[in-house]
Chains A and B, each alone.
With several copies, the nearest count.
Chain A
Amino acid sequence: MSYEVKLNDRLARVEVINQDGNQLLVSVDGKEYELDFVQIGKGSYSILHKNRSYNVELIPVNGIKRYQAHTLQNSFDVEIIDAESKYIASRKREHDAADEAVISSPIPGRVVSIMVSEGETVEAGQSLVIISAMKMESEFRAPRAGKVISVMVTEGQSVEARQELVLLEYS
């Protein structure tokens, strides 16, 4: 049984061919790897491949399919693609192609300033809202040109992470 795994922007096909104790034979995009594969702690692995030593730490991100992965040299975002993931991805593509967008803040904070009003047309990159968190002010801008359909917050208001701020209709 093979799966797709996404590492940053790369999509790779993985298949476990054989596992015998620490000895693991696995292929990635058709390339075979013979590994000495040992778990050394929660989410922490030591892998020897042709005597090269790799130490990989995996930190789960919401559930069991997405991880932040660290090696000594690098950090990656990794995601296991199963049927559910594929469904979500296809939906996301639909959405990206849509003619509407909700601008939301990825972090909690306080609305310092709202720079547009409903009905106003905006250019790509134009500032919409400023949110303050951790002593920093962050500007949220229009990804594409369009029109403000709805402003969903007021100045001075506290917002949660992922709360919607502004609804745009692209032109």
Chain B
Amino acid sequence: MIKKVLVANRGEIAVRIIRSCREMDIRTVAVYSDADRRALHVLYADEAFHIGPSPSADSYLNIDNIIKAARLSGADAIHPGYGFLSENADFSQRCKKEGIIFIGPSPSAISMMGDKITARKTMLKAGVPVVPGTDDRITSDEQAVKVIKETGFPVMIKASAGGGGKGMRLVSREADIRSALRSARSEAKTAFGDDSVFIEKYIESPHHIEFQILADSHGNIVQLFERECSIQRRHQKIIEETPSPILNPEMRKKMGDDAITAARAVDYEGAGTVEFIVDRDRNYYFLEMNTRLQVEHPITERVVGVDLVKEQINIANGKPLRLRQKELKQHGHAIEFRVYAEDPENNFMPAPGVVTHIDIPYGVGVRVDGSIYEGFEIPLYYDPLIAKLIVWGKDRKDALERSRRALKEFKIAGVRNNLLFLGGILRSEGFVKGEYTTHYIDENRDILMKNEKCEDHCEDIVIITAFMEYLQKVKKASPKEMTAIKNNWKDYSRVRSVLKL
């Protein structure tokens, strides 16, 4: 039995994993970079090991240092979370070699699903539908032009090693092929160290629907139903919900069965997600399999009533699944909102900085997973995801109403964030009706950016309050603070001269 888990990750997912470990009475080891000494996962874990400088390549992606921390701490297992090393077959292999349990699938399952071309071929063989396109990696621009013309516009160029929307380019006309190819390759090289790509027919107005699966080491596989993930911006999910507004029981059953088939085809073990793309006519195609926990796993936890991290640990312990497919049901409706430190009004520019104040929503049907606290400085080196709001309701309408209440209670000050933008999506007609595709945000940007109307005299009240606070502070200001105020003048002079050069 696993007694001590090293969490090879940071942020909300590291904290979330530690919580479940603590509930199972398993000791936890955090790892951290220079930038993360004050991060919540370091404060919350039983032990903490420094593993390198701030850039991820030197710390959270540094396999040697992480293995060293595991050995020093005596951890008998490593949980990789999502991102970073979670889908790195070499890391899984290395853990095996070191006699440390990797809480995730085997290196071969990771490799087969990690290489999108191998995955396509495996799925075709297993009888799972895939998007029309090439089954070979493209090595030359000439070959690419030829294949794309054969497939017919529009097409998607995708990184073979891809994931998370990186290294993807849409091409609609011949003139753009070469530049798209170049940029997809370059992004893939940077993100995955592998610049090979392949071509797929581009599915217009698609839905992105994924199925959660759990597979134990005894050959049992169950699917825990779908997550609708079509609310995306730049291929990054923002809001996810389950059940999907567009699935009926037959389609759910069929896709779920295919998800199990997909997992079985690679002898999968652990928690995984089979992603499908669904077109206008409700045809669905295998897109990829994420061989790890997903960011959006909590909505499945809420609706199905499982703790996926605990299931992962039980599977890693060699225990058989206690869940039976026929006993699994979806209870009510859950929606997740991803809170990012980014500025929607400034082209969603990432917004690192110090969190000065947080109001968190509570009460019936509300769960919050986060990694920030008042006074915490969000570092610039990592993903801008800082919190997740998960809301449950007995049906979709109820979940939407509760989400509106909870999002309004949620305030984060000091860093720009997308809470108001999330509120805009939540109020928008298409989302309320459940009629949206992956293009929804792009097609409705202007509507989504609108702030809610101010009730009654609230503007004037805010003006008065700020003014009273200012008067009070001026009265109280010590000589030292007055100097600080004066210094602003000096600063301004300096800035001005730069502006004027």
Contact = CB atoms under 8 A, between A and B. Distances in A.
Do A and B touch each other in the complex, judged by CB within 8 A? yes
Interface residues of A, number: 71
Nearest to A11: B463
Interface in A18-50: 22, 24, 26, 28-29, 31, 33, 35-38, 40-49
B352 A136 contact: no
Q: Chain A: interface secondary structure?
A: strand
A106 B347 CA distance: 12
B350 A53 contact: no
Contacts of A12: 460, 463
A108 B383 CA distance: 14
Interface string B26-42: 00011000000110001
Contact of A40 (B43, B352, B411, B467): B43
Contacts of B484: 63
Most buried by A among B341, B382, B470: B470
Interface in B450-465: 451-452, 454-465
Interface string A85-123: 000100100010010101000111100000000000000
Contact of A95 (B359, B375, B462, B496): B496
Nearest to B454: A74
A74 B37 contact: no
B414 interface: yes
Which interface class (under 10, 10 to 19, 20 to 34, 35 or more) fits B?
35 or more
B73 A46 contact: no
A100 B501 CA distance: 9
B47 interface: yes
A63 B465 contact: no
A48 B489 CA distance: 37
* Residue in A14, A53, A71 with the greatest tally of chain B CB atoms within 10 Å: A53
Q: Which of B349, B356, B357 has the most CB of A within 10 A?
A: B349
Contacts of B73: 51
A138 interface: yes
Contact of A37 (B49, B349, B408, B468): B468
B42 A46 contact: yes
A74 B452 CA distance: 7
Interface stretch (B255-263, B278-286, B471-479): B471-479
Contacts of B45: 53
A100 B500 contact: yes
B380 A108 contact: yes
Given A5-B466, A73-B452, A100-B500, A135 B38 contact: no
A28 B460 contact: yes
A12 B356 CA distance: 27
A107 B498 CA distance: 18
Contact of A59 (B44, B72, B357, B467): B357
Given A58-B466, A69-B465, A72-B409, A31 B48 contact: no
Contacts of B460: 12, 28-29, 31, 33
Among B357, B462, B467, B489, the most chain A Cβ lie within 10 Å of the Cβ of B462
Interface in B392-433: 408-409, 411, 413-414, 420
Contact of B463 (A7, A43, A133, A167): A7
B38 A107 contact: no
Nearest to A131: B349
A43 B454 contact: no
Nearest to B46: A53
A65 B481 CA distance: 13
A163 B414 CA distance: 20
A142 B458 CA distance: 37
A33 B468 CA distance: 13
A111 to B, nearest CB: 13
Closest 8 CB pairs of A and B: A134-B350, A59-B413, A78-B466, A41-B375, A56-B465, A64-B473, A28-B460, A53-B48
14 contacts: A7-B459, A28-B463, A37-B464, A51-B73, A52-B456, A63-B488, A70-B359, A72-B44, A76-B459, A106-B346, A133-B350, A134-B341, A135-B384, A136-B342
Interface of B: 29-30, 37-38, 42-49, 72-73, 341-342, 346-352, 356-357, 359, 373-376, 380-384, 408-409, 411, 413-414, 420, 451-452, 454-471, 473-474, 477, 481, 484-485, 488-489, 492, 496, 498-501
